[in-house]
Structure 1
């Protein structure tokens, strides 16, 4: 009997040993077959801050800025002419990481200090603002003033992806779990923290570290570049490529969230590119701005070159997007609120200049080269799209995902995308004045867009296809359309329990859009 047991044990051991290599091989095959994903997000980049035209014709801005690698990406993939984010950064980033619309996740303004609304909100003369989720997002249930959600990188990480964050995070307030990308499913965090802008782009300035009064804004974790003549955009790109190389060596699929601080203020010239813009004779601030754009574009090119060098370009998806419209109301050279024309206004505005973005997608073997779509998409659509690209079916999330996958658009299938309403909700105060800037809600359905401004309870209706600059308010000319959209917008705000500002004098909630038409 003992002899039989020994023989059985030996047989079992041989069986286990012989199976192990096959199991390992199968696991590696699964990893290799999963596509690598690069999500390249630029901060404050306007729809025309590129040499790639996203309209039916080129504009003077397209001829000013030089982005050869964006041109390269457009030639290798699909260009989206009507891609939307929110008007300021944190709401977009939370929508990206949760798949939720801002009206629902209620991180409706930019975050920084824990449990504190912005001074421009508390000091507003006529409006009282809601207690929005000032602490950003959290992977932990019950965190005060934060939206509890399953982060996009966490789902990818659970599915076997090596997840890399490089650059700006701005997902949670100081001292909260969401402040650190490592708490949100990232394996690597390069230079990401609570602040939404750098104290300095210059390594010679130590990226703001050591400067009194700049502690909140100083970029963390890049000590090896302190005192060196290097631009922040370059430094975080170098570190991102190193992290990607780690994944390549491990034969593990990777998700790179290349989230640039550029081209957010402070506007600081990138010495590698700025001189040629000075020589064009343009405003010096605008020359610096243009150099920051080109530095960002070089980062894109460096990543694309690396993918080719490592022979993984055919199994890597690249998505390019901006987090809000181009900065124009302040800090720029020239006349404010003109830097995105023909689009009206810029960052912080409910007009197209504040929410329409440059967007590109390359998916080798899936997306036709040099293709263009006029179908519209919005930032929360990235969440389900990326998960579908990764082959993750029916992911378990604690939040309801609002976004819709735009893979049918990428495949050039017939869709009814433009028949669904898109919603924006900003019950806040940015603190800067300009066209369309202030507390507002908006809806777009097909060619039509309705904006409701809470301060004066004014409705504005535009046909975006015919009037891209939103210069002609059609509320009085087409009251039926205005009413129909106002009802759609009101019903949505009520359905998701969107927070609404109140009148500061009497404490009463400002009426819903449909109510001002009664």
Structure 2
């Protein structure tokens, strides 16, 4: 009798594992929204991501709410805007004293302890989880992962991923070994797959770089393009492993980039209006959801935000949904091909350095809203820490763009459409009233 009970119990757990999708969250690092073949780039080749797009619900008009890696990654991990989760920049600045904790780096990391994370919520449902690639918030266990690669602060070199940054650039063995282990244990799994790619250093294999050297490109651009293809290869390798292990059909693959990047043609850095800025080159990214068992491929025209990823994954896994999430659970809209009842999204930009850990507004540089085809950018007088010569506030007046006719954001319409500026500015203030920073509203 006891043996029969154990067999029945084992079957129940197997059914539970089969019912819950595996989750693969692919995070690109510093890549422009149109730097993929499926997004129309004429030179960059991304055959594996093209194939994924053909099997996905694709939001080509999608955005991250902030254009800097650490705060952006925290929006994926917690589902919250930057001004809510509080990690507004990559590093604390020297004068941002915290009387409750003189260790500024630890004080900043501790903000993750106050919010539910994706890995924690999936863990409650029996998921095993693995962190690889970029991760800033201490050891992987701090984020709720059961397994991972990042040792994290205060370990030596424990900043932004440390050992995890090998993933993709040095193969995927750590992740594929984890997948094999989870399958053997009959457990659903969650992969945080965030290769340090195509991020600098741009060191692509010579075999890929040669493909782009034949074009009339500067060396820095050719290397960046080759990095995009190398990243595509890494993604393809991991997805193929899921196919080989016959778990692809019940795996929800979500793809997004942490922030944009426009390669400076003269050197290794990024050009203006890309990373750290609220322009399309900084905040726009394709977002894809692929789940063969549940979702039919489709191109979606609606605006989407990466804040939708958290509730969509939580819902798909049947996990506990935190209250007051700003994003939408997209599952029913994608499964039933229903229109998404939303015509606007918001975003915000803060300085790279955090000058006051307890007051996020001190480094506020921009807020923005897109409603329909109009986009409003407002500039604020936040402090910029060390990077005074490279901060992105090149234009301080309100900026209004018609993205349908001016996707490159070259023509500022704000002066000619004050009523539209006022309407969109009110939406921003209703969303998140700024208390301590000033916005420049005068045209000079």
- Which residue matches 1:189? 148
Output aligned runs, 1:324-335, within 5 Å.
324-328=259-263, 332=267
- Which residue matches 1:404? 328
- Which residue matches 2:339? 415
Output aligned runs, 1:75-474, within 5 Å.
75-85=54-64, 86-111=66-91, 116-117=92-93, 143=110, 148-170=114-136, 172=137, 179-191=138-150, 193=152, 215=157, 220-221=162-163, 233-235=168-170, 237-328=172-263, 332=267, 336-337=271-272, 345-369=273-297, 371-392=298-319, 394-395=320-321, 397=322, 400-411=324-335, 413-419=337-343, 421-428=344-351, 439-455=365-381, 458-474=397-413
Which whole-Å CA distance do the structure 1 matches of 2:197 and 2:153 have between them? 16
Which whole-Å CA distance do the structure 2 matches of 1:64 and 1:334 have between them? 20
Which whole-Å CA distance do the structure 1 matches of 2:127 and 2:158 have between them? 31
Which whole-Å CA distance do the structure 1 matches of 2:202 and 2:364 have between them? 24
* More displaced 10-residue stretch of structure 1: 294-303 or 358-367: 358-367
- Asked whether the equivalents of residues 133 and 193 of structure 2 are also in contact (C-alpha less than 8 Å), the reply is yes
Change (3 A) 1:287 1:355: same
How far apart are residue 329 of structure 1 and its match?
5.8
Which whole-Å CA distance do the structure 2 matches of 1:331 and 1:162 have between them? 45
- Asked whether the equivalents of residues 113 and 142 of structure 2 are also in contact (C-alpha less than 8 Å), the reply is no
- Which residue matches 1:481? 420
Which whole-Å CA distance do the structure 1 matches of 2:113 and 2:426 have between them? 27
Change (3 A) 1:415 1:482: same
Which whole-Å CA distance do the structure 2 matches of 1:329 and 1:193 have between them? 31
Instruction: Quote the RMSD (CA, aligned, Å).
Output: 3.2
Superposed CA offset, 1:174-210 (max 9, x none): xxxxx11112211111246359xxxxxxxxxxxxx9x
Change (3 A) 1:18 1:366: closer
Which whole-Å CA distance do the structure 1 matches of 2:353 and 2:82 have between them? 15
How far apart are residue 415 of structure 1 and its match?
2.8
Which whole-Å CA distance do the structure 2 matches of 1:439 and 1:330 have between them? 26
Give the secondary structure class of the aligned counterpart of 2:45: coil
- Which residue matches 1:32? 18
Extract unaligned runs of 5+ from structure 1: 1-13, 123-132, 173-178, 196-208, 226-230, 338-344, 432-436, 501-508
Change (3 A) 1:365 1:150: same
How far apart are residue 458 of structure 1 and its match?
2.0
Q: Specify the structure having the higher radius of gyration (Cα).
A: 1
Which whole-Å CA distance do the structure 2 matches of 1:319 and 1:192 have between them? 25
- Asked whether the equivalents of residues 140 and 149 of structure 2 are also in contact (C-alpha less than 8 Å), the reply is no
Superposed CA offset, 1:428-470 (max 9, x none): 2579xxxxx9811111222221111124752111122222111
Which whole-Å CA distance do the structure 2 matches of 1:463 and 1:457 have between them? 18
TM-score by length of 2: 0.84
- Asked whether the equivalents of residues 21 and 317 of structure 2 are also in contact (C-alpha less than 8 Å), the reply is yes
- Which residue matches 1:47? 33
Change (3 A) 1:135 1:409: farther
How far apart are residue 217 of structure 1 and its match?
5.8
Extract unaligned runs of 5+ from structure 2: 98-103, 355-362, 382-394
Change (3 A) 1:232 1:35: closer
- Which residue matches 1:506? none
Give the secondary structure class of the aligned counterpart of 1:359: strand
How far apart are residue 321 of structure 1 and its match?
0.8
- Asked whether the equivalents of residues 346 and 368 of structure 2 are also in contact (C-alpha less than 8 Å), the reply is yes
- Asked whether the equivalents of residues 418 and 445 of structure 1 are also in contact (C-alpha less than 8 Å), the reply is no
TM-score by length of 1: 0.73
- Asked whether the equivalents of residues 325 and 357 of structure 1 are also in contact (C-alpha less than 8 Å), the reply is yes
- Asked whether the equivalents of residues 181 and 192 of structure 1 are also in contact (C-alpha less than 8 Å), the reply is yes
Change (3 A) 1:487 1:31: same
- Asked whether the equivalents of residues 261 and 270 of structure 2 are also in contact (C-alpha less than 8 Å), the reply is no
- Asked whether the equivalents of residues 63 and 283 of structure 2 are also in contact (C-alpha less than 8 Å), the reply is yes
